[in-house]
Structure 1
Amino acid sequence: MSNYAHTVTAPSLADKLRERGLRLTPQRQLILEAVYELGHATPEQVHHAVRERAAGVNITTVYRTLELLEELGLVSHTHLSHGSPTYHRAGEDQHVHLVCRRCGSIGEADPSVLLPVTRQLQAERGFRVDVGHVSLFGVCGDCKELS
């Protein structure tokens, strides 16, 4: 894990935990750092990254901690497939997830690409789209070139 992630997350994580009467544990810190470093990661991917530094952290701890970190507003999740949710840093600019069905890569697009659709849904149905949870599936440019 990078030192950058540690310096960015430690104070806010410690403060948010203290506000709830909880303490900062090494496991919580490592799990948050893994999410920040991996960008978009499933609990299983976070678990794998954390176990490289702390072999005793189990998958249940990862799941519980990810739920807590989301409640604290430090991470958010989206569903990019039928499997586990994918977590990423909260507070990032919202983005549309672009998921390649061939290679599994996850890209991001500015939410403005959906403005016509989101405006129409708002006008016609009063429905406000949570762009942070929008995922579009297709084939990325690299895989398309291989076809």
Structure 2
Amino acid sequence: MLRERGLRLTPQRQLILEAVHLLGHATPEQVHQHVRQRAAGVNITTVYRTLELLEELGLVNHTHLSHGSPTYHATGADQHVHLVCRTCGSVAEMDTSVMHPVTDQLRDERDFRVDVGHVSLFGVCGDCTERSEDREGP
């Protein structure tokens, strides 16, 4: 895909793409930390620029799972909704079909198409809810 656009698949680009695939959901800083274990000369600016390029090419997507940096994941995986626990920080994935009632309504009433791959829902996971209820007691 890079070659089709007149670009080279440099070792740095390859390492960054591999890191995104390996890490699952990762911030640019996490990708940078992972890549530096194999290539100490790769700087954070290269990581950011490469992630932007890879997203333009449709190889990675980003979403916002916190107030910090975006989180990147490979597009080879099926699109999914992110469920982010505000208590423990865990990230779970849910099939996009859970959003169909909302996306259908927005399409029908507002002619608006939702990019479900960027959807993150924040709340409290079952484990944290259970631990909280255990502390409160009967």
Normalising by structure 1, what TM-score?
0.85
Larger radius of gyration: 2
Match of 1:45 in 2: 30
1:130 aligns with 2:84: no
Match of 2:61 in 1: 76
1:111 maps to a residue whose letter is: T
Q: Equivalent residue of 1:102, what SS?
A: coil
- Give the aligned length: 132
The Cα offsets for residues 64-96 of structure 1, whole Å up to 9 and x where unpaired, read as: 110111111111111122211111111421111
1:36 maps to a residue whose letter is: H
Q: For structure 2, which runs of at least 5 residues remain unmatched after alignment?
A: 133-138
2:124 maps to a residue whose letter is: V
2:77 maps to a residue whose letter is: E
1:77 maps to a residue whose letter is: H
Percent pairwise identity: 83
Displacement after TM superposition at 1:43 (Å): 0.3
- Structure 1 outlier segments of 4+, above 2 Å: none
The Cα offsets for residues 31-55 of structure 1, whole Å up to 9 and x where unpaired, read as: 0000001111110010111111111
Cα separation, 2, equivalents of 1:104 and 1:90: 22
Q: Equivalent residue of 2:83, what SS?
A: strand
1:102 aligns with 2:87: yes
Displacement after TM superposition at 1:145 (Å): 2.0
1:39 maps to a residue whose letter is: G
